[in-house]
């Protein structure tokens, strides 16, 4: 297990003319979207792990495209992209063609990260920009859309990641008077929470929550621990347990895993042992959780990707390492 | 230019409006707007491997979107209005079987085009029906080199076959009207006269141009008899006129004006000669020379006129030669006079309006037809700022302005540079505006001033020397500084503007007015970060002094914008004033206005990604300004991520890795290898060179895989810091001026060698943590029968070799099936609620708890969900049963016998016993049955205890709980543990579970353990109830307790957690594409935990409780094969049943609008 290797590895020829910055499989893993410095986005169909067709090319950005994100299919085949030109575009597949249906240009500098909220919360997109602000776009059924934009990290935001929509243990008090069936306990469905984490150039990770009463985003918590820019943040998917996990990657060559055992508990941090005095050999650019929330993929600047898993004693260990 | 168009020279043609030319090469078509030649050409890719022999633009205004070009034996019909993947409307093929040599549009009928090929065939095509030729002709003698339609007779066309010319009537078919044996050598070109219907011009390798009278006016063609028989080849034995040249003639074409023709040498000379029929053909009347290389093709630009009606008499000769340079020569009346051209009095063209609008539109600016898919914005920046939707106006403003500008009688053929700043349109991205603009930027000035032998000034017409707009040599550039006439400063100014625009991002600038000659003014619009919170669109005026590039400073003023604060305005004015005195003031000012950091030309040559990584904060900006500007200067962005990995569904890891050199060798497609070719880059000396050098070295190391260099480690660190802190100013760190450095790198291809990999890690993920897609797809998920669930799923797990799952299922089966099993043997009807007795069993509970905790610690989502559905299902059954029982109990209360209370006093089993007296006693087959009350629960779980040994150990009162319990319950007799209790056939399976063993070894007193368990697991209320039960006196009170909350075996918050497991797993199933399983799983969610959109009750669900498969909610048959599961109401239907009802409310009648995945975006 320590040097687990993939069952299969398929190389995809994207025909991008420049660096590729992000690639994302859609909700069902049937499509792959890649984006590049050549200002284009490409979408490929993936059948049985193999890309089919030459893909569609989505053009429109006027700068390198940093990230793409797929929306939940219940909203349609929708892709969000953000780029150096300060724009966030929402693309939709209509018929055989991709069309740009929305354009978000409130940011005044490069938008570095874009992320769709869990679908239970509706069509929400969070964006992080170098202008120091975060924005949340909400798309409504009638085609209207709104944007909340607020300062996140004064000197630049690098990444956003949504919390799972439903956090068990986040609700202690059952709603009174709710039962409709006799003999049934007064339990309401778990409430959904709009919450996300952002990573910034101020070495901080901040957690933002939406207050329904004031209809505004509030800074809930600040996680201090990194000594340099935080490059990426990833909130682990929840499998129904009360404990929450957040992984953060930083310029200081460390990866921290933050855990919170109960809604009111404090975040505890654990550093992954990168093998280099506790640090990774290079800047860590990206962290990504597997769907089941048990494996963490860490992409380091030295070109290696490592997979990490928490063992039964609660210690994170590297289970796989991949090179180009 | 050669970089741009490729290796071959290609061919050229002009549009009917004379506004654009098309250059066709192997790569594709390049459309160049003649009014604005420095603008990036529109490029239509072809991707062919064959050289283009001929291209022709349809000469009819009505069909000006059509262009034909050749590609070996295929003829390509281009529709320039067509966007999308290709602009090729139809390849006209399958007729010629050898390479096409010439194509010619019909001069009268706009939809006809003729082609001829080496196979000697001549085909006539109708583009309205391009599938096959409309007519085909062949003399079967020699390959055809040229085909030309007559200008006067719609049926007549001529073709050349080696040394013969044949004239055909397309109605006549396979035989030519007649044949002229015209030359002694191969004929290269033929041309019908534009003035005399019966004259045809031929030119040949034998250095002659001959004019023939084909003797057939359009009138006489009606009568075939007047024609010579085809056999008489030499009917026209002598030409009307012959012109002798010094060179083999490649082309001789009739002029569109006057009465003459222009010859083009095939080799040897680099001149074009103009001949006049009137003046005789002894010598050319005019020579255009000064071309550095052989001219390949020429076209006449009849500006302001259509091809047929010439009016204002201004012409331009445009040539395209081997040097891949487009050259323009104005032809004025001094030349046209020589061929007898008299400008007609300015007749108003009849279709004045229509024509005018046509002529003023470049094909590059022709609006895209609305039917096309992608929205093409004319200027993305503008759109963003003003939210302006474009493409409605047929003529974009700037192009109109440009054309107006260009139409002013321009002195000496200086082309207007007015519109160089056009942003590259989306559809023109294939080329780089920077490259194009740089080619233009290197343009020399008037070359007449140069004195070298290479100076190609024109002898006869000094004023109209060919003005090359493209590359020229360096030394000529030097000479330009000596010229100080006004035109020169204008050119210099234009150059500087173009260079400045190329250095900044040109697409961010929109030129609205530019005059480098008279007013010397430049008005532009740009978007800069000058607002309080957002970018603003500003209009900026540049005013240049008369001697600007040599003397004086330009004046920059910004239009007053309401959103720019006074303070900011002052700040801008100060900095602009500073910058306008610098070395390259235009660029410096533009940079400042665009919010770009100041940087040298060095970084302008870098690819964008690298350029951004090296963004240098302007030190002068940093001092004394607001936070806003600081923020703007720290536009660091996550660039140069070497590798990345992102998880997708199903355990697939999407990785981006740089492609190793070695790996690239075999598998990379040719295109990759080409791009990886080393390209020398010269960096002028600059303060940043050192840092850049490091970056390049590093990149090269990365690309080639030579990281083992001794200094690579250091470099790596250095570069990583560069990468990380885009704001780090190398100019501070390396302030010593590095010498000019020339590095040959193949590094810039490194980014392109990044590859995306899909790595399937599903196996690995499963190995440790249990997710198994196959199991997920095959597990039975039928609510209402937890035991059956376990029984069915165990073999499924076994089939897929998931023994861990199998063990879990078997354990579960045993735990919940214990009390049911014997009953089944006795063929008695099992009652759902009876199996609920598991809850009192401390061991089974402990077992479950351990199983659960183990899954939790492993984060095994799948097992957690499976445990959750079993528990939830049992919980639900129990609740239903107790509700039902409570109702019955109400009615049956009076009949309860006192004796019942004796044996039914136990809390858990009281209800069943009360209700069904006949069956309940038989649940227990132990002799202990009739013992004291309180023993009931103990008995039911006795089989679990101590059975491996068969010898019960004495009660262990080790825990305080136990003792407390014992005290409270009034001293339960320990002697109830009799070894004679029911045998446990399946008990051996317990051995699989270490946790249960542990319990077994420690468990002693059944009663004590049982009680303690209830206390540990259940909440205080339960304990309280139990105590009450223990004494069992007051039945009413007991009943109250039960109906209050007691039925649930599980704590509410625990239920919620289980539901969360189920939901998380359901989401996973959905992502795996297992929609049916997803829906089935969600049915385990208790109704009070359903989310609002999962509103339907259990009876309304598509799954039947009887059958395993889901039932279609339309036809009520089990669902197999393609099905559609609604994500909202969880109803399942056959795809073929659902399809016709798509868009209607759910067929089950639940009122749900099931088309949740339809395009309409819904927010729930």
Q: What string of H, E and C letters represents the secondary structure of chain A?
A: CCCCCCCEEEEECCCCCCCEEEEEECCCCCEEEEEECCCEEEEEEEECCEEEEEEEEEECCCCCEEEEEECCHHHCCEEEEEECCCCEEEEEEECCEEEEEEEECCCCCCEEEEEECCHHHCEEEEEEECCCEEEEEEECCCCCEEEEEEECCCCCEEEEEECCCCCCCCCCCCCCCCCCCCCCCCCCCCCCCCEEEEEECCCEEEEEEEECCCCEEEEEEEEECCCCCEEEEEECCCCCCCCEEEEEEECCCCEEEEEECCCCCCCEEEECCCCECCECCCCEEEEEECCCCCEEEEEECCCCEEEEEECCCCCEEEEEEECC
Highest mean pLDDT of the ranges A124-138, B820-834, B869-883: A124-138
- Contact status of A146 with chain B (Cβ, < 8 Å): no
Highest average pLDDT, of A184-188, B86-90, B441-445, comes from B86-90
DSSP character string of B285-305: SEEE---SS-EEEEEEEETTS
C-alpha span between B1143 and B1160 (Å, rounded) = 11
Query: What is the model's pLDDT at position B431?
Result: 41
Q: What pLDDT shows up at residue A246? A: 93
User: Does the pLDDT of residue B896 top 60, yes or no?
Assistant: no
Q: For B143-147, what is the mean pLDDT?
A: 88
The reply to whether B649 touches chain A by the CB within 8 Å rule is yes
In which band, very low, low, confident or very high, does the pLDDT at B1083 lie, cut at 50, 70 and 90? confident
Please name the residue that has the structure tokens 């006067």.
B152
User: What DSSP character marks residue B944?
Assistant: G
State how far residue A6 is from chain B, nearest Cα, in angstroms: 5
CATH number of the structural domain spanning residue A210: 2.130.10.10
Name the residue in chain B with its Cα closest to that of A38.
Answer: B608
Query: Could you give the 3-state DSSP secondary structure of residue B89?
Result: strand
Using one digit for the tens of pLDDT, what is the confidence trace for A244-302? 899 999 888 899 999 988 877 889 988 888 777 778 888 888 899 988 888 899 988 88
B631 and A154 in contact by Cβ < 8 A?
A: yes
A138, pLDDT greater than 80: yes
**Is A263 at the interface with chain B, CB within 8 A?**
no
Looking at residue B84, its pLDDT comes to 64
Q: Is the pLDDT of residue B259 over 60?
A: yes
Q: Calculate mean pLDDT across residues B339-358.
A: 52
Residues B545-584 have pLDDT tens digits of 877 777 778 888 887 777 777 778 888 888 888 887 777 7
For residue A221, the distance in angstroms to the closest alpha carbon of chain B comes to: 24
Query: Any chain B CB within 8 A of the CB of A52?
Result: no
Q: Does the pLDDT at position A190 exceed 90?
A: no
**Contact A189/B636, CB-based, under 8 Å?**
no
Predicted confidence at residue B222, as pLDDT, reads 35
Query: Which of A232-241, B457-466, B743-752, B875-884 shows the highest mean pLDDT?
Result: A232-241
**Can you name the residues that pair with B23 across neighbouring β-strands?**
B12, B30
Residue B682 pairs in a beta bridge with B742
CA torsion sign for B864, B867, B871, B876 is positive
Is the Cβ pair A297, B645 closer than 8 Å?
A: yes
pLDDT averaged over every residue in chain A: 82
Q: Which residue of B has its CA nearest to A309?
A: B768
DSSP secondary structure of B664-704: HHHHS-HHHHHHTS-EEEEE---TTHHHHHHHHHHHHHHHH
Tokens of A89: 């575009």
Q: Is residue A96 part of a domain?
A: no
What pLDDT, on the 0 to 100 scale, is given for residue B48?
65
Question: What token pair was written down for B385?
Answer: 């700022």
Using the Cβ of A286 and the Cβ atoms of chain B, whether some distance falls under 8 Å is answered with yes
Can you give the pLDDT at residue A235? Answer: 92
* Number of domains into which chain A is organized: 1
User: What is the per-residue pLDDT for B72?
Assistant: 78
Residue percentage of chain B with pLDDT more than 70 = 47
Closest approach of B1012 to chain A, Cα-based (Å):
24
CB atoms within 10 A of CB A248: 27
In-domain check, residue A261? yes
The reply to whether B408 touches chain A by the CB within 8 Å rule is: no
Report the gap between the CA of A91 and the closest CA in chain B (Å): 11
pLDDT in tens, B490-511: 777 777 787 777 777 666 677 7
Q: What is the pTM of this model?
A: 0.45
B759: Cβ contacts below 8 Å, ≥ 6 apart? A6, A8, A9, A10, A322, B645, B652, B653, B654, B655
Residue A116 has a pLDDT of 93
Is pLDDT larger for residue B747 or for residue B647? B647
Name the 3-class secondary structure at B79.
strand
From chain B residues 234-263, the ones with a CB under 8 A of any chain A CB are none
- pLDDT exceeds 70 at position A19: yes
A148 close to B (CB below 8 A): no
Distance from CA of B872 to the nearest CA of A (A): 13
pLDDT tens for residues B402-450?
Answer: 333 333 333 333 333 333 333 333 333 334 444 444 333 333 333 333 3
Per-residue pLDDT tens for A84-120?
888 899 998 887 788 888 888 888 888 999 999 988 8
CB-nearest partner of A320 from B533, B764, B1159: B764
Q: Is B967 part of the contact surface with chain A (CB cutoff 8 Å)?
A: no
When CB atoms are compared, the residue of A10, A29, A172 closest to B649 is A29
| Chain B interface includes A73 (CB < 8 A) | yes
A169 CA to centre of own chain: 22
What pLDDT score was predicted for residue B543?
84
> For B423, which residue in chain A has the nearest alpha carbon?
A62
Check whether A52 has a pLDDT greater than 50. Answer: yes
pLDDT on residue B1090: 66
Mutate to test the interface with A, among B722, B1060, B1082, B1084 (most CBs of A within 10 A): B1060
Percentage of residues in chain B having pLDDT higher than 90 = 1
Specify which residues B260 forms β-bridges with. Answer: B276
**Is B304:B352 a contact under the CB 8 Å cutoff?**
no
Question: Which of A221-225, B126-130, B232-236, B1014-1018 has the least mean pLDDT?
Answer: B1014-1018
pLDDT over 90 at B125, yes or no: no
Task: Tell me chain A's radius of gyration from C-alpha atoms.
Answer: 20
Of residues A184 and B660, the one with the higher pLDDT is B660
Backbone angles phi, psi at B923, to 5 degrees: -55, -30
Q: Any chain A CB within 8 A of the CB of B322? A: no
The Cα-based distances of B859 to A285, B855, B951, B1064, B1085 in angstroms read: 26, 6, 38, 12, 20
pLDDT value, residue B376: 34
Is A2 in CB contact (< 8 Å) with chain B?
A: no
Bridge partners (DSSP) of residue B70 are B75
- Work out the average pLDDT over A143-160: 87
CB-nearest partner of B649 from A27, A295, A305: A27
Contact: B644, A32; criterion CB under 8 Å = no
Mutate to test the interface with A, among B1056, B1058, B1154, B1155 (most CBs of A within 10 A): B1056
Asked if residue B100 has pLDDT above 70, the reply is: yes
Q: What is the mean pLDDT of residues A128-149?
A: 86
Instruction: With cut-offs at 50, 70 and 90, classify the pLDDT of residue B367.
Output: very low
**Residue B382 host element (H or E):** helix B380-386
* A153 interfacial to chain B (CB closer than 8 Å): no
Confidence tier at B808 by pLDDT (50, 70, 90)? confident
**Residue, of B875 and A69, whose pLDDT is higher:** A69
In a domain, A229, yes or no: yes
Tell me: the pLDDT tens digits for B672-688? 333 333 333 333 333 33
Find out whether A27 and B652 touch, Cβ atoms under 8 Å. Answer: no
Confidence of residue B1091 (pLDDT cuts 50, 70, 90): low
Q: Residue B243 pLDDT more than 60?
A: yes
Sheet of B295-302: strand order equals B295-302, B315-321, B326-331, B467-468
Q: Give the residue numbers spanning the domain of A277.
A: 162-169+192-323
pLDDT band at B789 (very low <50, low <70, confident <90, very high): confident
Per-residue pLDDT band at A198 (split at 50, 70, 90): very high
Could you tell me if B25 and B6 are in contact, meaning their C-beta atoms sit under 8 angstroms apart? yes
Residue A269 is assigned to a structural domain of this protein:
yes
Query: The tokens of B668 are what?
Result: 């990379």
Residue B822 confidence (pLDDT): 41
Please say if the pLDDT value at position B926 is more than 50: no
- Asked if the model's pLDDT at residue B730 lies above 80, the reply is no
Instruction: Locate B389 and state its tokens.
Output: 């939707």
- Mean pLDDT of all residues belonging to chain B: 60
Residue A324 pLDDT more than 50? yes
Question: Would you give the distance in Å from CA A146 to the centre of its chain?
Answer: 21
Reported residue count of chain B is 1164
Strands B20-24 and B11-14: antiparallel
Three-class SS of residue B971? coil
Domains of chain B, by residue range, sit at: 380-469+476-596, 644-758, 765-1054, 1091-1164
Q: Which of B138, B137, B139, B135 is nearest to B125 (CA)?
A: B135
> Are A294 and B765 in contact (CB < 8 Å)?
yes
For chain A, say whether B426 makes contact (Cβ under 8 Å): yes
Q: CA-nearest residue of chain B to A284? A: B641
Q: Is B727 on the interface with A (CB under 8 A)?
A: no
CB spacing of A189 vs B1088 below 8 angstroms: yes
Rg of chain B in Å (alpha carbons): 45
Give the SS3 label for residue B36.
Answer: coil
**CB-nearest partner of A141 from B702, B769, B1163:** B1163
Q: Give the C-alpha separation, B1001 to B1008, whole Å.
A: 14
Instruction: Report, at the CATH architecture level, how domain B1091-1164 is classified.
Output: 2-Layer Sandwich (3.30)
pLDDT in tens, B574-610: 888 888 777 778 888 888 887 776 654 333 333 333 3
Q: Which residue has the higher pLDDT, B530 or B399?
A: B530
Q: If you measure CA to CA, which chain A residue comes closest to B429?
A: A59
Q: B1006 to each of A48, B863, B962, B1046, how far by Cα in Å?
A: 55, 30, 11, 23
Residue A38, in any domain of the structure: no
Q: How far apart, in Å, are the Cα atoms of B1013 and each of B951, B962, B965, B1019?
A: 21, 9, 10, 11
- Is B768 in Cβ contact with A292 (below 8 Å)? no
**Closest partner residue to A289 among B647, B1058, B1087, by Cβ?**
B647
- Residue of B390, B612, B632, B638 whose CA lies nearest to B534: B632
User: Does A230 map to a domain?
Assistant: yes
Q: Considering CB atoms only, which of B429, B609, B760 is closest to A49?
A: B760
Q: Is B723 on the interface with A (CB under 8 A)?
A: yes
**Beta-strand runs (E) in B840-893:** none
Indicate the pLDDT class of residue A70, thresholds 50, 70 and 90. very high
Nearest to A286 among B645, B765, B1063 (CB): B645
Average pLDDT over residues A154-164: 89
**Interval B875-901 mean pLDDT:** 64
**Separation CA B622–CA A157 (nearest Å):** 21
Model pLDDT for residues A289-307, shown as the tens digit of each residue? 988 888 899 988 887 888 8
Among B646, B1039, B1093, pick the best mutation site for testing chain A contact (most A Cβ within 10 A).
B646
Q: Which residue has the higher pLDDT, B545 or A125?
A: A125
In this complex, do A240 and B659 lie within 8 Å of one another by their Cβ atoms?
no
Structure confidence by residue, pLDDT tens digits, B821-868 = 444 444 444 444 444 455 556 777 778 888 888 888 777 788 888 888
Q: Which residue has the higher pLDDT, B327 or B1117?
A: B327
Residue with tokens 């007559």: B150
Task: Supply the pLDDT for residue B425.
Answer: 36
Residue A79 has pLDDT above 60, yes or no: yes
Q: B518 vs A164, B336, B599, CA distance in Å?
A: 66, 29, 32
A4 belongs to a structural domain: no
- The answer to whether the CB atoms of B647 and A295 lie below 8 A apart is yes
Question: Considering only alpha carbons, which residue of chain A is nearest residue B885?
Answer: A183
Cα separation, B510 vs B513, in Å, equals 9
Distance of CA B611 to the CA centre of its chain: 23
Per-residue confidence band for B104, with pLDDT thresholds at 50, 70 and 90: very high
Size of interface A-B (CB pairs under 8 A): 386
Closest Cβ opposite residue A109 in set B635, B723, B879: B635
Please report whether residue A226 resides in a domain.
yes
pLDDT band at B400 (very low <50, low <70, confident <90, very high): very low
Average confidence (pLDDT) over B342-347: 57
């Amino acid at each position: 297990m320590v040097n687990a290797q993939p069952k299969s590895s398929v190389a995809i020829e994207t025909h991008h003319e420049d660096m590729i910055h992000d690639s994302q499989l859609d909700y069902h893993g049937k499509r792959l979207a890649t984006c590049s410095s050549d200002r284009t986005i490409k979408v490929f169909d993936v059948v049985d792990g193999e890309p089919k067709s030459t893909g569609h090319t989505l053009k429109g950005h006027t700068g390198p495209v940093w990230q793409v994100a797929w929306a939940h299919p219940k909203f349609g085949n929708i892709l969000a992209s953000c780029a150096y030109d300060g724009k966030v575009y929402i693309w939709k597949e209509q018929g055989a063609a991709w069309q740009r249906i929305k354009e978000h240009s409130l940011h005044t500098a490069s938008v570095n990260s874009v992320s769709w909220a869990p679908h239970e919360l509706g069509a929400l997109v969070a964006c992080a920009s170098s202008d120091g602000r975060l924005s949340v776009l909400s798309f409504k059924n009638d085609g209207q859309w709104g944007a909340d934009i607020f300062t996140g990290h004064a000197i630049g935001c690098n990444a956003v990641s949504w919390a799972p929509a439903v956090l068990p243990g986040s609700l202690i008090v059952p709603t009174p008077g709710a039962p409709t069936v006799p003999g049934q306990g007064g339990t309401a469905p778990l409430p959904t929470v709009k919450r996300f984490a952002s990573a910034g150039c101020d070495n901080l990770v901040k957690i933002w929550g939406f207050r329904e009463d004031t209809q505004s985003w509030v800074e809930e918590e600040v996680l201090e621990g990194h000594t340099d820019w935080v490059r990426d943040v990833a909130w682990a998917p929840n499998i129904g347990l009360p404990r929450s996990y957040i992984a953060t990657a930083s310029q200081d060559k460390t990866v921290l895993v933050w855990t919170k055992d109960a809604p009111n508990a404090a975040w505890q941090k654990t550093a992954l042992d990168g093998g280099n005095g506790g640090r990774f050999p290079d800047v860590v650019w990206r962290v990504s959780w597997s769907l089941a929330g048990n494996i963490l993929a860490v992409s380091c600047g030295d070109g290696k990707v490592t997979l990490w898993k928490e063992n039964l004693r609660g210690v994170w260990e590297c289970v796989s390492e991949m090179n180009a | 230019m050669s970089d741009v168009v490729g290796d071959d020279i290609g061919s050229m043609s002009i549009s009917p409006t004379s506004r654009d030319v098309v250059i066709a090469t192997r790569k594709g078509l390049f459309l160049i707007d003649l009014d604005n030649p420095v603008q990036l050409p529109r490029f239509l890719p072809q991707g062919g491997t064959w050289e283009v022999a001929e291209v022709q633009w349809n000469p009819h205004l009505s069909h000006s979107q059509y262009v034909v070009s050749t590609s070996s034996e295929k003829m390509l019909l281009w529709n320039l209005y067509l966007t999308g993947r290709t602009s090729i409307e139809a390849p006209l093929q399958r007729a010629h079987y050898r390479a096409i040599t010439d194509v010619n549009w019909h001069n009268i009928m706009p939809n006809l085009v003729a082609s001829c090929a080496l196979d000697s065939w001549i085909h006539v095509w109708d583009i309205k029906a391009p599938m096959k030729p409309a007519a085909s002709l062949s003399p079967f003698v020699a390959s055809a080199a040229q085909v030309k339609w007559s200008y006067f007779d719609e049926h007549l066309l001529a073709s050349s076959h080696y040394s013969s010319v044949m004239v055909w009537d397309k109605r006549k078919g396979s035989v030519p009207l007649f044949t002229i044996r015209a030359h002694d050598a191969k004929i290269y070109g033929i041309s019908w006269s534009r003035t005399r219907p019966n004259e045809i011009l031929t030119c040949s390798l034998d250095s002659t141009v001959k004019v023939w009278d084909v003797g057939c006016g359009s009138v006489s063609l009606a009568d075939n008899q007047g024609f010579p028989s085809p056999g008489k080849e030499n009917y026209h034995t002598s030409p009307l006129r012959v012109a002798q040249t010094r060179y083999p003639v490649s082309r001789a074409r009739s002029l569109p004006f006057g009465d003459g023709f222009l010859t083009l040498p095939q080799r040897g000379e680099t001149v074009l000669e103009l001949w006049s029929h009137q003046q005789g053909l002894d010598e050319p009347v005019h020579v255009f020379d000064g071309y550095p290389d052989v001219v390949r093709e020429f076209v006449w630009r009849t500006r302001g006129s259509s091809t047929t009606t010439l009016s204002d008499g201004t012409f331009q000769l445009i040539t395209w030669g081997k040097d891949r340079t487009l050259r323009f020569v104005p032809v004025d009346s001094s030349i046209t006079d020589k061929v007898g051209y008299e400008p007609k009095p300015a007749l108003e063209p009849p279709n004045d309006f229509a024509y005018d609008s046509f002529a003023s539109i470049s094909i590059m600016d022709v609006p895209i037809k609305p039917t096309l898919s992608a929205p093409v914005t004319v200027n993305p920046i503008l759109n963003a700022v003003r939210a302006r939707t474009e493409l409605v106006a047929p003529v974009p403003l700037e192009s109109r302005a440009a054309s107006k500008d260009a139409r002013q009688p321009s002195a000496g053929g200086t082309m207007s540079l007015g519109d160089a700043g056009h942003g590259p349109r989306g559809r023109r991205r294939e080329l780089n505006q920077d490259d194009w603009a740089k080619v233009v930027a290197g343009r020399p000035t008037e070359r007449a001033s140069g004195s070298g032998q290479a100076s190609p000034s024109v002898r006869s017409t000094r004023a109209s020397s060919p003005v090359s707009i493209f590359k020229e040599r360096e030394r000529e550039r030097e000479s330009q500084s000596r010229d100080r006439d006004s035109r020169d400063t204008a050119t210099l100014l234009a150059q500087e503007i173009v260079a400045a625009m190329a250095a900044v991002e040109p697409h961010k600038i929109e030129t609205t007015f530019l005059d480098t000659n008279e007013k010397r003014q430049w008005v532009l619009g740009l978007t800069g970060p000058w607002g309080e919170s957002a970018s603003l669109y500003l209009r900026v005026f540049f005013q240049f002094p008369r001697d600007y590039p040599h003397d004086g400073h330009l004046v920059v003023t910004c239009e007053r914008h309401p959103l720019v604060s006074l303070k900011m305005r002052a700040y801008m004015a100060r900095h602009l004033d500073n910058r306008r005195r610098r070395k390259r003031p235009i660029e410096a000012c533009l940079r400042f206005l665009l919010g770009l950091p100041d940087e040298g030309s060095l970084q302008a040559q870098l690819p964008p990604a690298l350029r951004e990584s090296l963004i240098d904060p302007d030190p002068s900006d940093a001092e004394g300004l607001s936070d806003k500007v600081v923020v703007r200067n720290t536009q660091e962005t996550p660039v140069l991520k070497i590798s990345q990995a992102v998880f997708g569904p199903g355990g697939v890891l999407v990785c981006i890795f740089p492609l190793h050199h070695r790996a690239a060798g075999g598998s990379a497609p040719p295109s990759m290898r080409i791009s990886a070719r080393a390209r020398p880059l010269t960096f002028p000396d600059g303060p940043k060179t050192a840092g850049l050098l490091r970056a390049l070295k590093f990149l090269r190391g990365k690309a080639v895989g030579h990281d083992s260099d001794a200094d690579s480690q250091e470099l790596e660190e250095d570069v990583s810091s560069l990468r990380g802190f885009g704001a780090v100013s190398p100019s501070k760190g390396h302030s010593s001026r590095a010498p000019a450095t020339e590095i040959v790198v193949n590094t810039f291809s490194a980014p392109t060698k990044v590859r995306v990999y899909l790595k399937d890690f599903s196996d690995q993920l499963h190995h440790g943590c249990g997710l198994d897609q196959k199991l997920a797809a095959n597990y039975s998920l039928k609510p209402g029968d937890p035991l059956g669930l376990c029984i069915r799923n165990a073999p499924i797990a076994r089939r897929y070799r998931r023994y861990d799952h199998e063990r879990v299922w078997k354990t579960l089966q045993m735990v919940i099936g214990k009390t049911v099993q014997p009953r089944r043997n006795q063929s008695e009807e099992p009652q759902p609620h009876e199996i609920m007795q598991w809850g009192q069993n401390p061991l089974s509970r402990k077992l479950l708890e351990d199983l659960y905790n183990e899954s939790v610690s492993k984060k095994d989502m799948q097992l957690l969900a499976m445990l959750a559905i079993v528990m939830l299902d049992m919980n639900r059954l129990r609740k239903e049963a107790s509700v039902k029982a409570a109702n019955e109990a109400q009615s049956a209360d009076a009949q309860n016998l006192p004796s019942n209370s004796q044996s039914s006093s136990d809390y858990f089993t009281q209800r069943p016993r009360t209700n069904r007296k006949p069956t309940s006693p038989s649940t227990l087959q132990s002799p202990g049955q009739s013992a004291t009350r309180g023993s009931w629960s103990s008995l039911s779980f006795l089989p679990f205890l101590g059975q491996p040994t068969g010898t019960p150990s004495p009660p262990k009162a080790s825990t305080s709980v136990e003792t407390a319990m014992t005290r409270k319950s009034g001293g339960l007799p320990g002697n109830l543990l009799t070894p004679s209790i029911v045998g446990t056939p399946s008990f051996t399976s317990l051995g699989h579970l270490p946790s249960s063993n542990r319990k077994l070894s420690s468990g002693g007193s059944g009663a004590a353990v049982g009680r303690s368990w209830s206390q540990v697991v259940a909440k205080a209320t339960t304990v309280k109830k139990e105590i009450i039960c223990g004494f069992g006196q007051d039945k009413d009170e007991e009943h109250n307790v039960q109906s209050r909350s007691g039925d649930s075996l599980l704590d509410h918050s625990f239920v919620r957690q289980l539901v969360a497991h189920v939901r998380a797993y359901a989401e996973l199933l959905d992502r795996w594409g297992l929609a049916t399983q997803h829906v089935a799983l969600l049915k385990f969610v208790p109704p009070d935990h359903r989310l609002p959109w999962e509103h339907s009750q259990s009876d309304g669900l598509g799954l039947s409780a009887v059958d395993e498969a889901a039932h279609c909610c339309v036809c009520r048959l089990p669902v197999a094969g393609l099905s559609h599961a609604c994500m909202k109401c969880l109803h399942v239907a056959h795809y073929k049943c659902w399809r016709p009802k798509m868009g209607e409310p759910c067929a089950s009648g639940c009122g749900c609008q099931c088309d949740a995945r339809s395009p309409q975006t819904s927010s729930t």
